[in-house]
């Protein structure tokens, strides 16, 4: 029999997967049901997009980790909610439909069936009675319902704005869906070139929650790197709004600055090319240059425009602003390094104290005026651009003040004269929420005489109609516009033809799992409170690539729901763990284009799901990226074969039978100590997500037990309970073979006796004048005099003690014995 067929995993695994499903063994108990009196634990995976290529081994890493925790927590006495569903709207299915003519609903159903088959073949303990699908009208009815709550609160609105448009995909994309490359901005999905284009779009006012989104990060247990990414994306800046009158005009230009103390160093103003006042301040003789420059800037990405190393470009408008304190004339320029999406889209340029302003001033020979000097030396080279804090100089009434005090004083002066005010700005922009696609949730909105009107809750869901042609027009008009009988309603209103982005369904799916079959509400208050209190989902496992997009959007929706009293916690996800990326064998990220994807189906057929589960976790720390190695599967598989043979033997006809040397009696003390040590260490490793070291300790445990001539049933049972979260199929089978009628899934997790963890023997280092001359293995707390006697008898130590007098003996209990001799005469 080959090593790979060393135990009958091909029979065991389907048997127990069928048993778990038929028994509904992992069904969570809702409030009021039997089992709901236990403490609850909600462990959640980021649900997958069911693509046509199926799951690969990289996808399974996070699911395996969450399943280990779910199984462990059940055995620790928790009522565990561990659900699974499908994030199934979006571009891939639509693009496939455009290419093949197959309706996205058909391919989505096929893909879900394949994903579900692969997931169930891994033996994950999901509560399949709670399965959800974002494309199911019974689900997206409530996505639409939540959108209407946002609309009612004024958090959903329509505006025309320059947005990213992908000619290949024929749809607009959110800022977060754009990647910036040396060849220009491209779509994250498909890596197509994108352009800026004015579109009338739906937006969600996520900016209204900027401060709450920042504050909430202090109350969750997330990796600090993820928190920092969200803080950076939100981009809070404290500063001042300052008004600059425009010469010979009735209006003022408002600028935002984080350094109002440098106001006296402003020598010109710069407007973003998109700023609405560019038209007003540009003189006739400069208009052609300004228009040409604006057109060119419009095609650039924000990253290209703000790149510090690039040569600064710009055009003078011909207009002037007036300094609010001194009345000095300041020329107004247009430059693409200023963004309309940050601050007010206008800046006061202080080239002596801002690097970009400095480069711009040098390029166009504009004045550079120093107004802050370093506090430590009071000197600064005239050509330097000093951006730090220090002491104000040449700044009238704030000269001599340190930066903090200068900021305060100048803002007070401006506020007294209604020329400015203290304020906070955020880099975060409102969320572009509409797409020119077919395969998405329809908006529950109709239009009449240019006004958006909410569809009645009673008329939800607004069903997605069938189409034959899923392609948007070349002008970016959504394909739903072709379905005239759907768009044009008898009352004279017209339906919104754009659809929601894929993010909509994933913003709240974790809440639907709490009450997935509720037809009257998205979820009941009782069930939401039971599963989400006191602080949200207890454990959320998924990839770090969702740090900004999904997590930020879901937190925003959750906070809105919290404010209107629909959820009981201010944050959705309490603890977040990011699994590392499993790379291909070529050390590159797995992808179809690279041809390095490893399909789990073949591995399960050759080695079994338990081997694959163990190997995924044994590769290294969960949070770290690591390369795949198919050769490495042999080790975990041999380990499981050793486990099998601890219990089972072959009879003369090649059948597996329970070993006859398994005894139902107390093991000797060394085995008891090994057992309790293993329980303690594996428990601690699971709690700390150190699954690779937990497996290593289980391997040591099995190796030691294999050396013994006797098999103690109580010890073997503990082994199975410890191993079962990692390799549940083989453990269920062996548990059953030991005579247990019920599954081990709800057996109590083994406990350990701390007294048995104490070392009964210690190693004493013996030194002669501080030099190590030997070691003594003795019982803990051995008497000092007995140690001296033992040292005199020890063959390698005794020769150093013969015929010599020592002045003292240094003794550190259970560690050290040092003989200090008098110097020889």
pLDDT tens digits for range 403-423: 999 999 999 999 999 999 999
**What's the whole-number mean pLDDT along residues 487-491?**
95
Q: Which of 262, 269, 302 is nearest to 385 (CA)?
A: 262
**What's the whole-number mean pLDDT along residues 129-145?**
98
Query: What is the C-alpha to C-alpha distance for residues 417 and 364, in angstroms, rounded to an integer?
Result: 33
Tens of pLDDT, residues 525-552? 999 999 999 999 999 999 888 877 899 9
**What's the whole-number mean pLDDT along residues 764-773?**
90
Would you state the pLDDT for residue 824? Answer: 57
pLDDT over threshold 60, residue 780 = yes
Residue numbers in the known binding site are 592
**SS3 for 161-228, per residue?**
EEEEEECCCCEEECHHHEEEECCEEEECCCCCECEEEEEEEEEECHHHHHHHHHHHHHHCECCHHHHH
Tens of pLDDT, residues 163-193? 788 888 877 776 767 887 777 788 887 889 8
Q: Which of 517, 543, 537 is nearest to 80 (CA)?
A: 537
Is residue 178 a contact partner of residue 187, using CB atoms and an 8 Å limit? yes
712 pLDDT band, cuts 50/70/90, is very high
Tens of pLDDT, residues 219-263? 999 999 999 999 999 999 999 999 999 999 999 999 999 999 999
Answer with the residue of higher pLDDT: 308 or 698.
698
Tens of pLDDT, residues 290-303? 999 998 887 776 66
DSSP code of 582?
A: E
Angle, helices 634-647/609-618, rounded to nearest 10 degrees: 120
Tens of pLDDT, residues 316-325? 999 999 999 9
pLDDT over threshold 70, residue 1 = no
Percent of the chain surpassing pLDDT 70:
96
Would you state the pLDDT for residue 547? Answer: 74
Is residue 624 a contact partner of residue 22, using CB atoms and an 8 Å limit? no
Would you state the pLDDT for residue 57? Answer: 86
Annotate 108-154 with DSSP letters as a single string.
HHHHHHHHHHHHHHTT----GGG-EETTSHHHHHHHHHHHHHHHHTT
Q: Where are the beta strands (DSSP E) in 537-600?
A: 539-542, 576-578, 582-583
**Which of 331-340, 387-396, 693-702, 779-788 has the lowest average pLDDT?**
779-788
Please give the C-alpha separations between residue 144 and each of 171, 489, 501, in angstroms, as whole numbers: 21, 19, 12
For each of the domains in the chain, give its residue range(s) and CATH number, in order of start: 26-136+514-617 (3.40.50.620), 143-214+430-503 (3.40.50.620), 236-426 (3.90.740.10), 630-755 (1.10.730.10), 759-821 (3.10.20.590)
584 pLDDT band, cuts 50/70/90, is confident
| Strand, coil or helix: 748 | coil
Main-chain dihedrals φ then ψ at residue 109, nearest 5 degrees: -60, -45
Tens of pLDDT, residues 112-126? 999 999 999 999 999
Residue numbers in the known binding site for ATP are 592
Residue 220 bridge partners (DSSP) = none
Answer with the residue of higher pLDDT: 333 or 51.
333
Percent of the chain surpassing pLDDT 90:
71
**SS3 for 438-486, per residue?**
CCCCECCEEEECCEEEECCHHHCCCCCCCCCCCCCCCCCCCHHHHCHHH
pTM of the model: 0.85
Q: Name the token pair of 18.
A: 């069928």
């Amino acid at each position: 029999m080959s090593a790979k067929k060393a135990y009958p995993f091909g029979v065991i695994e389907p048997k127990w997967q069928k048993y778990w499903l038929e028994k509904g063994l992992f069904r969570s108990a809702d409030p009021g049901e039997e089992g709901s009196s236990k403490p609850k634990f909600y462990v959640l995976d980021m649900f997958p997009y069911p693509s046509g290529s199926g799951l690969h081994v990289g996808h399974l890493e996070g699911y395996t980790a969450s399943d280990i925790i779910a199984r462990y927590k059940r055995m620790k006495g928790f009522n565990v909610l561990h659900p699974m569903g499908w994030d199934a709207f979006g571009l891939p299915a639509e693009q496939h439909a455009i290419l093949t003519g197959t309706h996205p609903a058909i391919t989505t159903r096929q893909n879900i069936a394949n994903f579900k088959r692969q997931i169930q073949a891994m033996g994950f303990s999901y509560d399949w009675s709670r399965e959800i699908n974002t494309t199911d009208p019974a689900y997206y009815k409530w996505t639409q319902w939540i959108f209407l709550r946002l609309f009612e609160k004024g958090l959903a609105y329509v505006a025309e704005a320059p947005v990213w448009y992908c000619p290949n995909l024929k749809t607009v994309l959110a800022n977060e869906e754009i990647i910036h490359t040396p060849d220009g901005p491209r779509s994250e999905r498909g890596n197509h070139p994108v352009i800026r284009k004015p579109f009338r779009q739906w937006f969600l006012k996520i900016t209204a929650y900027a401060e709450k989104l920042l504050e909430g990060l202090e109350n969750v247990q997330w990796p600090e790197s993820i928190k920092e990414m969200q803080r950076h994306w939100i981009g809070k800046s404290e500063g001042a709004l300052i008004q600059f009158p425009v010469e010979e005009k009735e209006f003022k230009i408002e600028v935002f600055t984080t350094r109002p103390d440098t106001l006296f160093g402003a020598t010109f103003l710069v407007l973003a090319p998109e700023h609405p006042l560019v038209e007003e301040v540009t003189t006739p003789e400069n208009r052609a240059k300004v228009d040409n420059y604006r057109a060119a800037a419009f095609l650039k990405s924000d990253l290209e425009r703000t790149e510090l190393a690039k040569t600064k470009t710009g055009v003078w408008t011909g207009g002037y602003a007036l300094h609010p304190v001194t009345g000095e004339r300041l020329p107004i320029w247009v430059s693409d390094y200023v963004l309309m999406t940050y601050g007010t889209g206008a800046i006061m340029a202080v080239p002596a104290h801002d690097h970009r302003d400095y480069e711009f001033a040098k390029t166009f020979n504009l004045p550079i005026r120093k107004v802050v000097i370093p506090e430590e030396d009071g000197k600064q080279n005239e050509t330097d651009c000093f951006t730090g804090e220090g002491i104000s100089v040449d700044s009238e009434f704030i000269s001599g003040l340190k930066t903090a005090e200068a900021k305060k004083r100048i803002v007070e002066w401006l506020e007294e004269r209604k020329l400015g005010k203290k304020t906070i700005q955020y880099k975060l922009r409102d969320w572009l929420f509409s797409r020119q696609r077919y395969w998405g949730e329809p908006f529950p909105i109709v239009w009449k005489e240019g006004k958006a009107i909410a569809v009645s809750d009673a008329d939800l869901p607004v069903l997605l109609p069938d189409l034959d042609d899923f392609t948007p027009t070349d002008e970016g008009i959504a394909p739903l516009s072709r379905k005239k009988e759907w768009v044009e309603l008898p009352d004279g209103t017209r339906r919104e033809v754009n659809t929601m982005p894929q993010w909509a369904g994933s913003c709240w799916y974790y809440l639907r799992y709490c009450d997935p079959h509720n037809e009257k509400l998205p979820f009941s208050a009782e069930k939401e409170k039971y599963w989400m209190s006191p602080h949200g989902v207890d454990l959320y496992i998924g990839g770090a690539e969702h740090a900004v997009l999904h997590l930020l959007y879901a937190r925003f929706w959750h906070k809105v729901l919290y404010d209107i009293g629909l959820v009981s916690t201010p944050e959705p996800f309490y603890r977040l763990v990011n699994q590392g990326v499993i790379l291909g064998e070529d050390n590159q990220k797995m992808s179809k284009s690279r041809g390095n994807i490893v399909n789990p189906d073949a591995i399960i057929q050759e080695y079994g799901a338990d081997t694959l589960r163990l190997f995924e976790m044994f590769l290294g720390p969960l949070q770290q990226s690591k390369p795949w190695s198919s050769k490495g599967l042999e080790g975990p598989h041999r380990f499981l074969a050793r486990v099998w043979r601890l219990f089972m033997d072959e009879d003369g006809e090649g059948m597996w039978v329970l070993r006859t040397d398994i005894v139902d009696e107390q093991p000797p003390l060394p085995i008891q100590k090994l057992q309790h040590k293993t329980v303690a260490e594996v428990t601690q490793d699971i709690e700390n997500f150190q699954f690779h070291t937990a497996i290593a300790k289980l391997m040591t445990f099995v190796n030691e037990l294999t050396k013994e001539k006797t098999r103690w049933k109580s010890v073997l049972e503990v082994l199975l309970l410890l191993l079962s979260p990692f390799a549940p199929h083989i453990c269920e089978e062996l548990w059953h073979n030991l005579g247990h009628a019920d599954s081990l899934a709800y057996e109590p997790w083994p406990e350990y006796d701390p007294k048995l963890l104490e070392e009964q023997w210690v190693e004493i280092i013996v030194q002669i004048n501080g030099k190590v001359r030997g070691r003594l293995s003795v019982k803990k707390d051995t008497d000092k005099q007995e140690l001296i006697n033992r040292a005199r008898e020890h063959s390698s130590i005794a020769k150093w003690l013969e015929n010599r007098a020592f002045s003292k003996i240094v003794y550190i209990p259970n560690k050290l014995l040092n003989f200090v001799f008098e110097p020889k005469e």
